[in-house]
């Protein structure tokens, strides 16, 4: 069953997080005045993350980023932070809730991705597809980058709002595919629908032959989708470092929002070229907007939006309590 797979996977990972989160990694904090100034993280191939942009713009001051590889998904990224393999990670708000509810000692400090009229996650079919509505998806396959995260929550919410029962929703099969392979899988008929966002979405649209079935922006309007998290012990022992990081990310969000598009793309291109990881900058031409509202300030709504989905999947047994999952304490832009 689709639901069982996603819930068990997230819970198992969280149990691992609990078992080893107290272990200190190379960048673990020490008590007293000394605070860590080097943060280990996972990046994203052919993309520039907000922390990477913040560092390049000088917004991180003496805090340095140490790249340890690329993440395969948001849940994997925050699990790495929870287990001490990295110092921070980012994921869909619902995935943050799952990890915290399973007992992992992490807390969100800033939003890092979101959806608006320019930047959103869409679900695409071939032009000639017979799929035109929610009920047409029963028994069909949808490609997503991972289970138990943003795309699954959006799909389930859209299907429910369009009248499908829980049993009918469970007949819609989610297939995990790397985002770079999704467009081709749809075109070849290996899946019926593909979740696409960012440059991959724009490339697919520019190529032609695909049409939009629905989008998360169409479902919710503009909203923040996910947050960067730190372990609670790291927050307690390194408050100044976390404040520098979080405020730097917030400043980078506002820089992207207020800087002309061609200059943003130029800066991204320079960053990718300088880090020399053998990446392509071709897709940067499709960048449109940062998508994250209001300097990354986290709100209750960023979590309560998924309350129904979280309870239906068994993650929560009672209404959500958003303050449990985040703090704006370290975002100086949240204080004006």
Widest distance between CA atoms in the chain: 64
What confidence category does residue 57 fall into, taking pLDDT thresholds of 50, 70 and 90? very high
Report d(CA 111, CA 89) in Å as an integer: 11
What confidence category does residue 336 fall into, taking pLDDT thresholds of 50, 70 and 90? low
Mean pLDDT in residue range 167-191:
96
Domain boundary among 192, 219, 246: 219
Report d(CA 49, CA 125) in Å as an integer: 29
- In a shared domain, residues 211 and 266: no
pLDDT tens-digit readout, 239-290: 999 999 999 999 999 999 999 999 999 999 999 999 999 999 988 988 999 9
pLDDT tens-digit readout, 58-80: 999 999 999 999 988 899 999 99
Mean pLDDT in residue range 182-207:
94
Q: What is the pLDDT of residue 152?
A: 95
What confidence category does residue 148 fall into, taking pLDDT thresholds of 50, 70 and 90? confident
pLDDT at 155 over 60: yes
Beta-carbon contacts of residue 163 (< 8 Å; ≥ 6 apart): 134, 135
- In a shared domain, residues 234 and 101: yes
DSSP state of 296: G
pLDDT at 208 over 80: yes
Tokens of 133: 């509505």
pLDDT at 178 over 70: yes
Pairing of strands 173-176, 193-197: unpaired
pLDDT cut 90: percent of the chain above it: 80
Q: What is the pLDDT of residue 169?
A: 96
Report d(CA 28, CA 51) in Å as an integer: 19
- E-strand ranges in the chain read 38-43, 64-70, 88-92, 106-115, 121-126, 141-144, 173-176, 193-197, 210-215, 223-231
pLDDT at 4 over 70: no
pLDDT cut 70: percent of the chain above it: 90
- In a shared domain, residues 149 and 215: yes
- In a shared domain, residues 157 and 87: no
What confidence category does residue 17 fall into, taking pLDDT thresholds of 50, 70 and 90? very low
DSSP state of 326: B
CB 116, CB 222: distance < 8 Å: yes
CB 286, CB 198: distance < 8 Å: yes
Residue with more model confidence, 8 or 199:
199
| Matching residue, tokens 């990046």 | 43
| Matching residue, tokens 């309350």 | 307
Task: Indicate which CATH number applies to the domain containing 276.
Answer: 3.40.190.10
Mean pLDDT in residue range 44-54:
95
- In a shared domain, residues 38 and 49: yes
- Give me the number of domains the chain comprises: 2
Whether the CA torsion 56, 283, 39, 249 is positive or negative: it is positive
Residue with more model confidence, 149 or 132:
132
Beta bridge partners of 122: 196, 215
| Matching residue, tokens 């049993």 | 167
Q: What is the pLDDT of residue 335?
A: 83
pLDDT at 324 over 90: yes
Domain boundary among 219, 238, 269: 219
3-class secondary structure, 109: strand
Domain assignment of residue 310, given as a range: 2-115+222-335
Element (H, E) at 332: none
What confidence category does residue 6 fall into, taking pLDDT thresholds of 50, 70 and 90? very low
- In a shared domain, residues 80 and 10: yes
- 139: exposed, middle or buried (C-beta count within 10 Å: 0-12, 13-18, 19+)? exposed
Residue with more model confidence, 141 or 313:
141
- In a shared domain, residues 22 and 162: no
Report d(CA 64, CA 71) in Å as an integer: 19
Beta-carbon contacts of residue 188 (< 8 Å; ≥ 6 apart): none
- In a shared domain, residues 204 and 141: yes
Domain boundary among 167, 188, 219: 219
- In a shared domain, residues 210 and 231: no
- In a shared domain, residues 44 and 162: no
Report d(CA 129, CA 133) in Å as an integer: 11
Q: What is the pLDDT of residue 42?
A: 96
pLDDT at 31 over 80: no
3-class secondary structure, 89: strand
- CA 96 to chain centroid, in Å, comes to 10
- In a shared domain, residues 52 and 80: yes
What confidence category does residue 175 fall into, taking pLDDT thresholds of 50, 70 and 90? very high
Q: What is the pLDDT of residue 72?
A: 83
What confidence category does residue 19 fall into, taking pLDDT thresholds of 50, 70 and 90? very low
- In a shared domain, residues 22 and 108: yes
pLDDT at 102 over 60: yes
pLDDT at 32 over 80: no
Core vs surface per residue 98-123: b (16+ CB within 10 A) or e: bbbbbebbbbbbbbbbbbbeebbbbb
Report d(CA 271, CA 57) in Å as an integer: 10
């Amino acid at each position: 069953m689709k639901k069982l797979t996603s819930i068990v996977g997230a819970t198992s990972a969280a149990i691992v997080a609990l078992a080893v989160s107290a272990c200190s990694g190379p960048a673990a904090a020490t008590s007293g005045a000394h605070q860590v100034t080097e943060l280990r993280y996972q990046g994203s191939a052919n993309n520039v993350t907000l922390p990477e942009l913040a560092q390049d713009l000088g917004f991180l001051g003496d805090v340095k980023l140490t790249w340890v590889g690329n993440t395969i998904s948001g849940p994997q990224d925050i699990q790495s932070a929870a287990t001490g393999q990295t110092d921070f990670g980012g994921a869909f708000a619902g995935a943050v809730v799952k990890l915290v509810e399973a007992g992992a000692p992490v807390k969100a400090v800033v939003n890092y991705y979101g959806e608006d009229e320019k930047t959103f996650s869409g679900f695409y079919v071939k032009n000639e597809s017979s799929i035109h509505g929610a009920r047409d998806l029963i028994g069909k396959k949808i490609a997503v980058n991972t289970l138990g995260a943003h795309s699954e929550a959006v799909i389930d919410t859209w299907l429910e709002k369009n009248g499908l029962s829980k049993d009918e929703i469970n007949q819609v099969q989610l297939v995990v595919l790397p985002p770079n392979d999704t467009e081709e899988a749809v075109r070849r008929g290996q899946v019926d629908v593909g979740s696409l966002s960012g440059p991959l979405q724009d490339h697919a649209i520019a190529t032609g032959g695909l049409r939009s079935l629905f989008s998360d922006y169409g479902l919710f309007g503009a909203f923040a989708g996910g947050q960067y998290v730190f372990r609670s012990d790291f927050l307690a022992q390194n408050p100044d470092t976390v404040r520098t990081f979080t405020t730097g990310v917030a400043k980078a969000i506002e820089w992207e929002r207020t800087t002309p598009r061609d200059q943003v793309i130029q800066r991204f291109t320079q960053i990718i070229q300088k880090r020399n990881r053998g990446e392509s900058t071709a897709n940067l031409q499709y960048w449109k907007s940062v998508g994250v509202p209001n300097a990354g300030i986290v709100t209750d709504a960023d979590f309560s939006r998924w309350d129904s989905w979280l309870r239906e999947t068994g993650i929560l047994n009672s209404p959500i309590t958003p303050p449990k999952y985040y703090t704006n304490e370290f975002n100086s832009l949240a204080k004006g």
